Amino acid sequence: MLNDKTILVTGGTGSFGKQFVKTVLQKYSPKKLIIFSRDELKQFEMSQHFSEEQYPCIRYFIGDIRDKERLIRAFKGVDYVIHAAALKHIPICEYNPFEAIKTNVIGVMNIIDAALETGVKRVIALSTDKACSPVNLYGATKLCLEKLFTQANSYSGETGTRFSCVRYGNVIASRGSVIPFFLQERKKGVIPITDERMTRFWMTLDQAVELVLTSLARMYGGETFIPKISSMRVVDLAKAVAPECSLKIIGTRPSEKLHELLISIDENNRASDLGDCYALFPEFSWWASEKYQDIKKVEDGFSYSSLNNTQWLSVDDLRRLVNQLENKHEF
Q: Within 13 Å, how many C-alpha atoms sit on residue 304's CB side?
A: 27
Which one of the listed residues 42, 130, 239, 257 is annotated catalytic?
A: 130
If you count them, how many residues does the chain have? 331
| Residue 328: count of CB within 10 angstroms of its CB | 9
Q: Are 125 and 145 in contact (CB under 8 A)?
A: yes
d(CA 153, CA 204) in angstroms, rounded, equals 30
- 5 catalytic? Reply is no
Closest CA to 205 of 96, 71, 325: 325
What's the one-letter identity of residue 116? L
Identify the DSSP state of 312: B
Helix axis angle for 234-241 and 178-186, nearest 10°, is 50
Identify the DSSP state of 328: T
d(CA 304, CA 132) in angstroms, rounded, equals 10
Q: What is the DSSP string of 222-271?
A: S-EEEE--EEEEHHHHHHHH-TTSEEEE--PPTT--SS-EEE-TTTGGGE
Strand order in the sheet with 199-203: 170-171, 199-203, 230-233
Strand order in the sheet with 80-83: 58-62, 32-37, 6-10, 80-83, 122-128, 162-168, 224-227, 277-280, 271-273, 296-297
Residue 1 Cα to chain centre, angstroms: 21
Helix, strand, coil shares, percent, the chain, to 5 = 40, 20, 40
d(CA 279, CA 252) in angstroms, rounded, equals 31
* Residue numbers annotated as active site: 130
